[in-house]
Amino acid sequence: MLFSLMMCVPLFGFMLSTAALAATRDVQFVVYSSEDRVPLYQQSFDAFQAKTGISVQHQPSPAAQVQKWEMVITRIAGGVSPDVVGAVSVEFVQYAANGLIMPVDDLMKRDKVDTGHVIPILVSAHQWRGRQYMMPYGASGLPLVYNVQLFDEAGVTHPPDVWDQPEWTWETFVESLKKLTKKDADGNIIQYGLATAPMDSWVTLPYTWGGDWIDDELKRFMGTSPETLSSLQALQDMRWTYEVMGTSGNLLFQGSAAVAGTGTWNLPTIIASPLNLRIAPWFKVGTHHPKGPINPMGLTILETSSNKEAAWEFVKFVTLDPDGNYLFANAAGALPGTSQGYRRWQESVQTQRPGLNPFAFVQQVAEHGDVSRIRMVTTFNEINAIMNPTVSAVINNLKSPTSAMEEVAPVIQALIDRSKH
């Protein structure tokens, strides 16, 4: 059904593009929001209306990307197309390839838009075939977070506050985890060094090890490369050989794990925690430049929108206006993309939770971020359905990294070959 509806999009786009834009109307904006963040989104909508006179109508959506887009496509098919969709990352390519979203290059040129004050990787990550299909408002990501008290009690040196320090290596990380893991008299682990696999599903795993799931041209599966296999082996070893890794990220917040790779979407929980938590950079593996997974986030205008000019004004406000960028990114739980926005974000976090070290994540995005390019493949949803259980089997020691990746490689490569590059 989803495929059939997407095939209808060009027809709806043609029908709507023949109509002249009427007087400015409310921008119909689709984004997921938890109940506690709705007032924060409304602050950004109110600021936009105060500046432009245009109001924004929030259309709530499911949190999962696939379900969100299914909702959008169903509304388009019903003749009630939204104007803007938010909280979209690099998976936008599959919708651009099917004509669902519009590039904004002509609008950028017309309005002399300057993205020079936006973190560069966020801009480039939202381009496809040389065109800008999305405007970035910021990034979420996966930094390391550690419990200061547990490090001090174990006499373990803290991770550095800034990236690319020569002493902060994979070997140092593992040795620290060993010292931070505690057992009771019966040999049961009562405190883990690492809460669980430090990744946001399988897609964010290999970058710190210098690996990737796909090559730069989005044509070749790289799951069997030595670097990617090393990242899988590292996770398996931390759980089964070194016995320093648990199975739940909540162990960090429960005080029974010293370190976790936890998403910035958990920042409110981190700030509110009674524990003394601190953000740290990722370690260096071998000779590879240290990397940390990030998710560039943006807004996209639908081809079927009949209110494109107002939609574009909203997109510009959220992504380029320093105040609008900060307000919206803060509501979305992301680091703002503009220089003024992320400095304000950093100051706000430091005020709310002194000592948390938010600069480590700013540096991760601006200087050491790596993007999950496999999500740009238009057959990603099918790939994801295969890779999730496969990587889980490796982590649970049911398969070796090599056998698991060699088993799925032909299937994944066939799905990549089917993708619209």
Q: What is the pLDDT of residues 89-109, one digit of tens each?
A: 999 999 999 999 999 999 999
pLDDT band at 64 (very low <50, low <70, confident <90, very high): confident
pLDDT band at 334 (very low <50, low <70, confident <90, very high): very high
What is the average pLDDT across 72-77? Answer: 95
| pLDDT at residue 63 in the model | 86
| pLDDT at residue 25 in the model | 85
Q: Does the pLDDT at position 149 exceed 50?
A: yes
Q: How far apart are CA 213 and CA 409, in angstroms?
A: 10
| pLDDT at residue 199 in the model | 86
| pLDDT at residue 389 in the model | 97
* Residue matched to tokens 């296999």: 229
Collapsed DSSP state (helix, strand, coil) of residue 242: coil
| pLDDT at residue 393 in the model | 97
What is the average pLDDT across 310-322? Answer: 98
Domains of the chain: 2-141+294-371 (3.40.190.10), 144-292+377-418 (3.40.190.10)
pLDDT band at 1 (very low <50, low <70, confident <90, very high): very low
- Intra-chain end-to-end CA distance of the chain, in Å: 23
| pLDDT at residue 44 in the model | 97
Q: How far apart are CA 344 and CA 328, in angstroms?
A: 13
pLDDT band at 2 (very low <50, low <70, confident <90, very high): very low
Mean pLDDT of the chain: 93
Q: How far apart are CA 296 and CA 76, in angstroms?
A: 26
Q: Which of 376, 366, 416, 298 is nearest to 96 (CA)?
A: 376
Q: Does the pLDDT at position 17 exceed 60?
A: no
Q: How far apart are CA 46 and CA 270, in angstroms?
A: 28
| pLDDT at residue 87 in the model | 85
State the DSSP H helix or E strand holding residue 94, giving kind and residue range, or none if neither: helix 92-96
Q: Does the pLDDT at position 13 exceed 80?
A: no
Q: Does the pLDDT at position 344 exceed 50?
A: yes
Q: Does the pLDDT at position 15 exceed 90?
A: no
| pLDDT at residue 387 in the model | 97
Per-residue model confidence as pLDDT tens digits over 119-128: 999 999 999 9
Range with the poorest average pLDDT among 1-15, 371-385, 389-403: 1-15
Tell me the pTM.
0.90
What is the average pLDDT across 363-382? Answer: 95
Per-residue model confidence as pLDDT tens digits over 217-259: 999 999 999 999 999 999 999 999 999 999 999 999 999 999 9
pLDDT band at 24 (very low <50, low <70, confident <90, very high): low
Q: How far apart are CA 361 and CA 225, in angstroms?
A: 28
Q: How far apart are CA 343 and CA 198, in angstroms?
A: 27
- List Cβ neighbours of 354 (8 Å cut-off, separation of 6 or more): none
User: Using an 8 Å Cβ cutoff, are 317 and 52 in contact?
Assistant: yes
User: Using an 8 Å Cβ cutoff, are 29 and 87 in contact?
Assistant: no
* Residue matched to tokens 């057959």: 379
pLDDT band at 200 (very low <50, low <70, confident <90, very high): confident
